[in-house]
Amino acid sequence: MPHDSFDIWAMADLATPFAVRTAATLRVPDVVKDGPVPLAEIAHRCRAEPDPLGRVLRFLVHHGMFTEPETDVFGPNDLSDALRSDAADSPRAWLDLDGAVGRADLAFVELIEQVRGHHPAYPAAFGRSFWEDLAHNSQLSDSFDELMENKTQDIAPLVVAAHDWSVHSRVADVGGGKGVLLAEILKSAPHLHGILVDLVGPSRNAAAYLDEQGVAERAEVVTANFFEPLPFEADCVVLCDVLGDWDDEDAARILQHCARAAGPDGQVLIVELLPDNDRMAQFTELDLRMMIYAGGRVRDLDRIQQVAAAAGLAVEDFTPLDNGYAVIECRPQR
């Protein structure tokens, strides 16, 4: 086969990602972590059917994951160990087809219809929007909060270091999930009062999280919809990884409500991944995911500035972080 054609088949393959995700969802790497295990026992412990599971595992063995030291006995290798639940930086939870993001990835089957302009992908795949889906299923909603917790634990210390919090007294984290970033901000600035704002599911988890982090006394949790006027005042409003979930019009509406809550002298901080030449593969992939999951998009600084301007905000400053994100500081336009 000519080389280019071979590369295209490899790029377009669907068997490998689905086989890896099936193994991840069933937690096969955890079951075989101590050494080879007979297929019947793996299937029993994973609550799966032996014949199809064996065919998936054998396929994966021939693609570099797991070993098969004797027929119908499967063991671990470096790749399966990296997919264990307890591996450092394990991708398992992100690939779990029963979790919010693994499930959302399945909406890529509707990409062609979204591109043709027929319908948005996620509602076509699952009958309702991503956020409605989470609201109807607490297991999905909790899995999403945990994934966001994981992601934000890496980002939060960088955001905290990039901004002078001493000038604020009340900081709100809008769409703040469980409160990972807010907790980190409050820990770094003992004078601050914090407000965590999110929908019912995440805000249910936030109170316990803020308590565990030892900042509950200086924090309140507000359940609110950011498409309606926000029921609090704060001199700094943070939006971390929120605007990318929405199209420009919705993003501007969210910013408008945040700007109103921050008042004429307040600040709105937008934390988002920005494009840079070294990370265009990551940026464009996230852009597609945002489009498929929620009809959103990731933006460059110019486009963020335009959306902010539509909400009456001016970008005053921005601080790039080491991981490709930036903290973009906005104030009401004078």
Minimum gap (Å) between residue 83 Cβ and ligand SAM: 23
> Are the C-beta atoms of residues 326 and 272 closer than 8 Å to each other?
yes
Pick the closer one to ligand SAM by CB: 65 or 195. Answer: 195
What span, in angstroms and rounded, lies between the C-alpha atoms of 330 and 316? 5
Minimum gap (Å) between residue 58 Cβ and ligand SAM: 37
H-only helix segments in the chain:
3-12, 15-26, 28-31, 39-46, 50-61, 78-82, 92-95, 100-105, 111-115, 121-126, 130-136, 138-162, 180-188, 200-212, 248-262, 280-294, 301-310
> Are the C-beta atoms of residues 307 and 255 closer than 8 Å to each other?
yes
* DSSP one-letter code for 191: T
Pick the closer one to ligand SAM by CB: 216 or 298. Answer: 298
In the bound complex, which residue of the shown chain has the CB atom lying closest to ligand SAM? 175
Minimum gap (Å) between residue 200 Cβ and ligand SAM: 9
What span, in angstroms and rounded, lies between the C-alpha atoms of 318 and 299? 14
Minimum gap (Å) between residue 90 Cβ and ligand SAM: 18
Pick the closer one to ligand SAM by CB: 30 or 272. Answer: 272
Pick the closer one to ligand SAM by CB: 84 or 297. Answer: 297
Minimum gap (Å) between residue 198 Cβ and ligand SAM: 5
Pick the closer one to ligand SAM by CB: 60 or 262. Answer: 262
Which residues of this protein are in contact with ligand SAM, per CB under 6 A?
Answer: 131, 148, 152, 175-177, 180, 198-199, 202, 225-227, 240-242, 245
Give every CB contact of residue 26 below 8 A, 6+ residues apart in sequence. 46, 47, 48, 53
